[in-house]
């Protein structure tokens, strides 16, 4: 029967059903593609054509979107798609060996599909489970705390073709690991507390401004000001409107506090969005939830249903005529760049997640060109708290320039990784003591794009005026090699660059290649000079923050941990990035020659075994 | 009528109209700023970054009497609105060096073999590289493996030379209303695609008379049966450097 | 004031690797200026002199062509070791040029196609005298450090003259409009 695939699923019927559920709305392309893929395993050329016809989009646009996001695949990748989280903290917890074990047992190479088309194994960027890694995603659902035993059991389940839904529930257990609560996590807050306390929109806006609340995503823009600009902006066109967007695309390596907020404090986040909608005059809000948190979709929708039933969402909230607001959850599909707010908006509109040019800013021209307030999950939860408990109380916490608290996601070399909430102004050394870190040689604060802090700086403070952070806090003890930390991050940016602008598209690759060359023992001062040149170009010319900060960690470690590079610089002058002797391998193969003339007798240092480009790569 | 608004480009006063970008005002005033993805007929998007300039650098005097230059912000001049009194640096060593690096990045990313390219002598990437004095690609070549698409009766696509400026994407969408071209992949896998299930240009509704057929600044979109028609020595950049004709930059309509 | 240059003649070595000798031919297009040149330089290893190896005290090495086989690598290393300044001359030396267009194919497939004899299988020439091909063709600067680049396919005699006179006078060579060409 035409249209019915090998698993007995009628593909045409699935596509038709998904399209009609989304009214064939082209702005919902991301959701359409995800739902179709969840049902029929992959997005074939034929499927893309049908989706394009259904949404009346040019086919190239649909293919372009499918090709942009890591979690969409336009090739069959097996009934079981295994993606190992490949952040440096997963590496430190031994993910490379575990992944190699899995590949060996399944008789396949990383990145390839097994011959029977059953399973594929690959890596993905940080999945937001740094406190309970090594982690992997199976069909985009997280499995935590991987061990050799767990690998073996999963291999058995795959071999027996056990549906993922029937796998042991303990595999999928994600802990909150909240270790320190302060004003937000420790608040006595009941759903509706903020909404019941609402005065006029202007008064609420004044309170948010008065509180000193600044964006928790890392940039630290004043939330009150953002809302004020957005409230003052006028919607345009046939469907003028204002929108609230919650940025839950928590992609910065080492960050997982939004995961916890959405798991256990969703009411507070949704209430913050509702307060924001009330202030700016929006009737609709979106949560842009990263694809890695797909497993939170149903629980979050259940919370939304409860809130609707309790009149905390929907028409005439708490009986106030004209106070209408509802929330919808939009899932991302594996793209770190969508944490950048304008890329997020593009993605929300069903497009490739490429950052827009600014101006105009989202507050005047955001989602569908309408005024839009984009705020971080934690910012919105804090706003709910301020609306409920008042600005004066909130302002009394933290420092004069950084009001309130900050939630840190702590991972790496410490006894108690997890979630720590502190008033702003806490010293790095205090944080390290609390999480049980010993012999610490460095902290990477604010993720791969953030700041690498050496011990002589541990007296510095977490605050907008000193070390601002979105919440990532990775600890490295004296046994770690900071060069490899930087190399991991350099590869992360190669994976995550959107490719829009020249400096980032090419520069991130050149930087990672130079780091690999040094790692392979072929590097010298020549290559260090090249690295600086690439970093300068990235910083000066890149289109968005991703490219501008992509060289930060290499620059920081080159300055603060220079010996970790110098000890690898085997070359005084210059050596090729590739192995000259290996460059004759194919001719040795076809001629069968192995005489001295078929080799280069140059004292080449063997590439050291170590962390490969990807976990599971042969050393 | 009040005096026209002006800004300063490398200390030279440039008039501009409200709403003009820096590059628009500069080109109108006969001042060249290098660019590849900018084209006066299309909405600027600022991806190639060749037109990067520095805006409003300051010089401060320190306590011990030394002058220290604090660099202003860097921005793509094709997407940055001109503002009254702004000081823009373009032809300064730091920015020229940056542009050379960007050209070198493009040269190693694709497979640019000028001697065998039909566009040689009138290729914008080549013209800019000459003007900037780029003598070598510096970085290791990617040697990317890319296909050639000869499926269309009148047009050949050689993806080896694509610099991902998206001019053809914009021309086909905005002028031709056909959406023949789009982009897929991302980062270093980003690539140009055609709007057909086979992926072939021959299966799209592209016509040789389309705007998109004549907008490619490099040698990707080529008219079949038309190549090497102008002798060496008489081609566009043999005759004059690219910077000599700033306002005529827009890729010239080919004789078809 | 220009820095005083050494009175002695500078030793120049030249060679063609994976090139077509077109750059060397173009070198000869400096015509009668070669008489001025030999006042300033003496040729060491070069097709012009037929000297087989570089003297250890060469000042300038000029190399045409990219690196496509094992012998190219050995020659390039010899030049780098013996020359103070190394110049990559021409498109092939600078980005691999025409020979590098084979890089989009696997060398094994190319040889199999080239040396296939109908009905008699594939016979790839295999003699220790024949240098093995590299998996890919590389520009010079990917194999050794290169100090200067002189683009063109070939660079014109005028470009070569301008480049060399700059260099011999101790100036960083620049070409400018009309002389800088990639084809």
Strand ranges in A146-236 using DSSP code E only, listed in sequence order: 178-180
User: Which helix or strand (DSSP H or E) is residue A423 part of?
Assistant: strand A418-423
Measured between CB atoms, which of A60, A503, A540 is closest to B195?
A: A60
pLDDT number for residue A615: 43
Ranges of each domain in chain A: 14-68, 80-172, 180-395, 405-482, 483-566, 580-609
Cα of B162 to nearest chain A Cα, Å: 12
Check whether residue B200 and residue B144 sit in a common domain. Answer: yes
pLDDT-derived band at C6 (thresholds 50, 70, 90) equals low
Nearest Cα neighbor of A387 from A206, A204, A246 is A204
Closest C-chain CA to B113: C97
Contacts with A456 (C-beta within 8 Å, 6 or more apart), sequence order: none
Measured between CB atoms, which of A573, A587, A600 is closest to C133?
A: A587
Tell me: the pLDDT tens digits for B73-125? 999 999 999 999 999 999 999 999 999 999 999 999 999 999 999 999 999 99
Q: Do B47 and A68 make contact, defined as CB atoms within 8 angstroms?
A: no
| Inter-chain CB pairs, B–C, below 8 Å | 73
Q: Which residues of C touch A580 (CB under 8 A)?
A: 73, 143
The share of chain B scoring above pLDDT 70, in percent, equals: 95
pLDDT number for residue A402: 96
Q: Do C108 and A591 make contact, defined as CB atoms within 8 angstroms?
A: no
Closest C-chain CA to A599: C70
What does the pLDDT average to over A105-121?
94
ipTM of the complex: 0.95
What's CA C134's distance to the chain center, in Å? 17
Residue A119 in 3-state DSSP?
Answer: strand
Tell me: the pLDDT tens digits for B115-158? 999 999 999 999 999 999 999 999 999 999 998 999 999 999 99
CB atoms within 10 A of CB A203: 11
Q: Which of C18, C63, C88, C181 to mutate to test the interface with B (most CBs of B within 10 A)?
A: C181
pLDDT-derived band at A606 (thresholds 50, 70, 90) equals very low
B242 backbone φψ class: left, alpha, beta (φ>0; ψ -120 to 50): alpha
Q: Which residues of B touch C95 (CB under 8 A)?
A: 107, 112-113, 137, 141
Q: Which residues on neighbouring strands pair with residue C88, listed in sequence order?
A: C63, C149
pLDDT-derived band at B62 (thresholds 50, 70, 90) equals confident
Check whether residue B50 and residue B120 sit in a common domain. Answer: no
pLDDT number for residue C126: 86
Chain B contact present for A75, CB below 8 A: no
Cα of C90 to nearest chain A Cα, Å: 20
Tell me: the pLDDT tens digits for A276-290? 999 999 999 999 999
Tell me: the pLDDT tens digits for A556-600? 999 999 999 999 998 888 999 999 999 999 999 999 898 888 998
Cα of B208 to nearest chain C Cα, Å: 27
What does the pLDDT average to over A69-75?
96
What does the pLDDT average to over B18-47?
93
Check whether residue B85 and residue B118 sit in a common domain. Answer: no
Q: Do C142 and B141 make contact, defined as CB atoms within 8 angstroms?
A: yes
Measured between CB atoms, which of A48, A359, A497 is closest to B187?
A: A497
**Considering the domain boundaries, does residue B214 fall inside one?**
yes
Task: Measure the CA dihedral A70/A291/A278/A355, to 10°.
Answer: -10
The token pair at C103 is 């890089």
Check whether residue B127 and residue B59 sit in a common domain. Answer: no
**Considering the domain boundaries, does residue B250 fall inside one?**
no
Chain B contact present for A357, CB below 8 A: yes
Q: Which residues of C touch A587 (CB under 8 A)?
A: 107, 132-135
What is the domain range of residue B62? 5-91
Measured between CB atoms, which of B140, B189, B193 is closest to A64?
A: B193
The token pair at A185 is 């996590």
Quickly name the fold that domain A405-482 has. Answer: Ubiquitin-like (UB roll) (3.10.20)
pLDDT number for residue A614: 42
| pLDDT surpassing 80 at residue B1 | no
pLDDT number for residue A3: 58
pLDDT number for residue A4: 66
The share of chain A scoring above pLDDT 70, in percent, equals: 96
Give the dihedral sign, CA A49/A53/A55/A58.
positive
Q: Is A43 within 8 Å of A76 (Cβ atoms)? A: no
Q: Which residues of C touch A585 (CB under 8 A)?
A: 135
What does the pLDDT average to over C42-66?
95
Cα of C170 to nearest chain A Cα, Å: 23
pLDDT-derived band at C118 (thresholds 50, 70, 90) equals confident
pLDDT-derived band at A610 (thresholds 50, 70, 90) equals very low
Q: Do A58 and B182 make contact, defined as CB atoms within 8 angstroms?
A: yes
Cα of C119 to nearest chain A Cα, Å: 19
CATH number of A80-172: 3.40.30.10
Q: Do B187 and A513 make contact, defined as CB atoms within 8 angstroms?
A: no
The structural domain count of chain B equals 2
CB atoms within 10 A of CB A60: 26
Place of tokens 């021209």: A365
Contacts with A82 (C-beta within 8 Å, 6 or more apart), sequence order: A102, A119, A120, A121, A122, A136, A137, A138, A154
Kindly indicate whether the domain formed by A483-566 is annotated with CATH number 1.20.1440.230.
yes
* Sheet of C83-89, strand order: C41-43, C10-16, C58-64, C83-89, C148-150
Cα of C119 to nearest chain B Cα, Å: 31
Nearest Cα neighbor of B131 from C150, A506, A537, C178 is C178
Architecture of domain A180-395: 3-Layer(aba) Sandwich (3.40)
Q: Do A68 and B185 make contact, defined as CB atoms within 8 angstroms?
A: yes
B contact chains, 3+ CB pairs < 8 A: A, C
Chain A contact present for C77, CB below 8 A: yes
Q: Which residues of B touch C101 (CB under 8 A)?
A: 111, 113, 116
Check whether residue B51 and residue B142 sit in a common domain. Answer: no
Q: Do B130 and C177 make contact, defined as CB atoms within 8 angstroms?
A: yes
Cα of B102 to nearest chain A Cα, Å: 6
| pLDDT surpassing 70 at residue A9 | yes
Q: How far apart are CA A413 and CA A417, in angstroms?
A: 8
Nearest Cα neighbor of B69 from B40, B92, B101, B39 is B92
Q: Do B135 and C150 make contact, defined as CB atoms within 8 angstroms?
A: yes
What does the pLDDT average to over B36-64?
93
Q: Do B49 and A542 make contact, defined as CB atoms within 8 angstroms?
A: yes
Cα of B75 to nearest chain A Cα, Å: 7
| pLDDT surpassing 80 at residue C1 | no
Q: Which residues of A touch B185 (CB under 8 A)?
A: 67-68, 499
Nearest Cα neighbor of B211 from B200, B219, B221, B197 is B221
Tell me: the pLDDT tens digits for A30-45? 999 999 999 999 999 9
Q: What is the mean pLDDT of chain A?
A: 94
The CATH number given to whatever domain includes residue B81 is: 3.10.20.30
pLDDT-derived band at A2 (thresholds 50, 70, 90) equals low
The share of chain A scoring above pLDDT 90, in percent, equals: 92
pLDDT-derived band at B251 (thresholds 50, 70, 90) equals very low
| pLDDT surpassing 50 at residue A607 | no
The token pair at B48 is 């190639």
Cα of B28 to nearest chain C Cα, Å: 24
Tell me: the pLDDT tens digits for A412-465? 999 999 999 999 999 999 999 999 999 999 999 999 999 999 999 999 999 999
Check whether residue B132 and residue B29 sit in a common domain. Answer: no
Which value, in Å, is the radius of gyration of the alpha carbons in chain B? 20
Check whether residue B213 and residue B157 sit in a common domain. Answer: yes
Cα distances from A476 to residues A2, A47, A248, A267, C153, in angstroms, run 56, 46, 27, 35, 53
Chain B contact present for A533, CB below 8 A: yes
Q: Do B130 and C142 make contact, defined as CB atoms within 8 angstroms?
A: no
pLDDT-derived band at A59 (thresholds 50, 70, 90) equals very high
Check whether residue B158 and residue B70 sit in a common domain. Answer: no
What's CA A556's distance to the chain center, in Å? 22
Q: How far apart are CA A315 and CA A76, in angstroms?
A: 44
Structural domains of chain C ordered from first start: 10-103+136-169 (3.40.50.700)
Q: How far apart are CA A103 and CA A111, in angstroms?
A: 10
Tell me: the pLDDT tens digits for A225-253? 999 999 999 999 999 999 999 999 999 99
**Considering the domain boundaries, does residue B180 fall inside one?**
yes
What are B25-29's contacts with CB under 8 Å, separation 24+? Answer: B25/B82, B26/B77, B26/B90, B26/B246, B27/B246, B27/B247, B27/B249, B28/B247
Q: Do C149 and B145 make contact, defined as CB atoms within 8 angstroms?
A: no
Would you give the end-to-end CA distance of chain A in angstroms?
48
pLDDT-derived band at A618 (thresholds 50, 70, 90) equals very low
Per residue in A254-273, is it b (16+ CB within 10 Å) or e — as a string?
bbbbbbbbbbebbbbbbbbb
């Amino acid at each position: 029967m035409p249209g019915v695939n090998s698993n007995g699923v009628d593909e045409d019927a699935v596509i038709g059903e998904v399209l009609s559920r989304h009214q064939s709305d082209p702005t919902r392309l991301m959701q359409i593609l995800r739902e179709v893929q969840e049902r029929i395993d992959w997005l074939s050329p034929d499927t893309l054509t049908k989706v394009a016809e259904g949404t009346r989009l040019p086919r190239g646009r649909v293919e372009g979107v499918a090709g942009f996001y890591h979690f969409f695949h336009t090739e069959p990748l097996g009934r079981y798609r295994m993606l190992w989280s490949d952040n440096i903290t997963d590496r430190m917890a031994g993910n490379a060996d575990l992944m190699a074990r899995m590949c060996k047992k399944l008789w396949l190479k990383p990145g390839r599909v097994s011959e029977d088309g059953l399973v594929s194994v690959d890596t993905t960027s940080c999945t937001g489970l740094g406190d309970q890694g090594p982690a992997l995603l199976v069909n985009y659902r997280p499995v935590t705390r991987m061990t050799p035993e767990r690998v073996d059991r999963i291999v058995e389940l795959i071999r027996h073709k056990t549906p993922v839904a029937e796998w042991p529930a303990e595999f999928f257990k994600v802990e909150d690991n909240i270790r320190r609560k302060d004003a937000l996590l420790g608040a006595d807050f009941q759903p509706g507390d903020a909404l019941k306390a609402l005065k006029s929109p202007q008064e609420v806006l004044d309170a948010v401004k008065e509180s000193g609340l600044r964006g928790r995503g890392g940039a630290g823009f004043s939330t009150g000001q953002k809302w004020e600009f957005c409230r003052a902006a006028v919607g345009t066109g046939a469907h003028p409107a204002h929108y609230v967007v919650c940025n839950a695309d928590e992609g910065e390596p080492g960050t997982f506090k939004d995961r916890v907020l959405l798991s256990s404090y969703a009411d507070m986040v949704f209430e913050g969005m509702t307060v924001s909608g009330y202030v700016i005059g929006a009737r609709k809000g979106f949560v842009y939830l990263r694809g890695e948190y797909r497993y939170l979709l149903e629980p979050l929708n259940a919370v939304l249903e409860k809130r609707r039933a309790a009149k905390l969402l929907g028409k005439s909230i708490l009986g106030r005529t004209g106070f209408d607001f509802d929330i919808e959850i939009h899932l991302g599909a594996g793209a770190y760049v969508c944490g950048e707010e304008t890329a997020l908006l593009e993605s929300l509109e069903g497009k490739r997640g490429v950052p827009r040019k600014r101006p105009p800013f989202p507050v005047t021209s955001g989602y569908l060109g309408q005024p839009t307030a984009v705020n971080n999950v934690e910012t919105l939860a804090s706003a709910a708290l301020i609306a409920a408990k008042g600005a004066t109380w909130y302002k009394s916490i933290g420092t004069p320039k950084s009001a309130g608290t900050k939630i840190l996601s702590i991972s790496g070399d410490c006894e108690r990784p997890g979630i720590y909430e502190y008033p702003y102004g806490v010293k790095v050394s205090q944080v390290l003591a609390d999480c049980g870190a010993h012999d610490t040689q460095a902290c990477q604060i604010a993720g791969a794009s953030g700041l690498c802090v050496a011990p002589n700086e541990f007296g510095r403070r977490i605050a907008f005026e000193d070390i601002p952070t979105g919440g990532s806090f990775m600890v490295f003890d004296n046994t770690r090699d900071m060069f490899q930390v930087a190399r991991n991050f350099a590869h992360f940016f190669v994976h995550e660059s959107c490719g829009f602008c020249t400096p980032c598209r090419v520069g991130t690759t050149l930087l990672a290649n130079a780091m690999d060359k040094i790692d392979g023992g072929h590097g010298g001062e020549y290559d260090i000079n090249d690295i600086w040149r690439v970093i300068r170009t990235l910083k000066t010319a890149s289109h968005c923050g991703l490219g501008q900060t992509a060289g930060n960690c290499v620059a920081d470690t080159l300055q603060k941990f220079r010996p970790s590079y110098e000890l690898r610089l085997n070359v005084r002058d210059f050596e090729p990035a590739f192995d000259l002797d290996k460059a004759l391998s194919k001719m040795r193969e076809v001629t069968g020659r192995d005489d001295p003339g078929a080799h280069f007798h140059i004292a080449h240092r063997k590439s050291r075994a170590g962390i490969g480009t990807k976990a599971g790569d042969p050393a | 009528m009040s005096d026209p608004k002006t800004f300063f480009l490398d200390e030279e006063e440039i008039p501009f109209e409200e709403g003009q970008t820096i590059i628009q005002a500069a080109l109108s005033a006969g001042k060249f700023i290098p660019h590849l993805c900018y084209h006066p007929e299309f909405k600027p998007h600022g991806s190639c970054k060749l037109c990067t300039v520095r805006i409003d650098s300051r010089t401060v005097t320190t306590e011990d009497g030394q002058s220290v230059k604090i660099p202003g912000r860097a921005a793509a001049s094709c997407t940055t609105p001109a503002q009254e009194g702004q000081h823009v640096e373009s032809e300064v060593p730091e920015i020229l060096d940056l542009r050379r690096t960007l050209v070198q990045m493009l040269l190693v990313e694709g497979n640019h073999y000028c001697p065998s390219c039909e566009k040689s002598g009138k290729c914008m990437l080549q013209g800019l590289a000459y003007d900037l004095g780029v003598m070598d690609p510096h970085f290791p070549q990617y040697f990317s493996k890319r296909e050639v698409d000869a499926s269309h009766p009148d047009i050949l696509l050689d993806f080896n030379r694509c610099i991902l400026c998206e001019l053809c994407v914009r021309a086909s969408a905005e002028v031709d209303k056909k959406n023949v071209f789009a982009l897929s992949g991302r980062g270093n896998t980003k690539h140009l695609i055609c709007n057909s299930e086979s992926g072939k240009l021959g299966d799209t509704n592209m016509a040789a008379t389309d705007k998109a057929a004549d907008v490619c600044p490099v040698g990707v979109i080529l008219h079949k049966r038309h190549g090497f028609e102008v002798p060496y020595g008489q081609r566009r950049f043999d005759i004059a450097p690219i910077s000599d004709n700033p306002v005529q930059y827009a890729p010239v309509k080919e004789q078809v | 004031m220009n820095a005083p240059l050494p009175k002695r003649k500078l030793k120049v070595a030249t060679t063609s690797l994976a090139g077509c000798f077109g750059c060397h031919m173009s070198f000869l297009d400096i015509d009668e200026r070669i008489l001025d040149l030999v006042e300033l330089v003496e040729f060491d290893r070069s097709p012009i002199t037929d000297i087989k190896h570089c003297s250890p005290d060469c000042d300038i090495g000029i190399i045409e062509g990219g690196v496509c086989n094992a012998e190219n690598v050995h020659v390039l290393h010899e030049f780098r070791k013996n020359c103070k300044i190394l110049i990559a001359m021409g498109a092939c030396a600078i980005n691999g040029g025409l020979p590098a267009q084979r890089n989009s194919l696997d060398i094994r497939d190319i040889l199999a196609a080239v040396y296939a004899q109908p009905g008699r299988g594939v016979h790839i020439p295999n003699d220790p005298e024949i240098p093995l091909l590299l998996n890919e063709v590389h520009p010079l600067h990917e194999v050794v450090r290169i100090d200067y680049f002189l683009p063109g396919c070939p660079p014109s005699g005028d470009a070569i003259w301008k480049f060399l006179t700059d260099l011999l006078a101790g100036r960083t060579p620049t070409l400018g409009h009309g002389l800088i060409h990639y084809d």
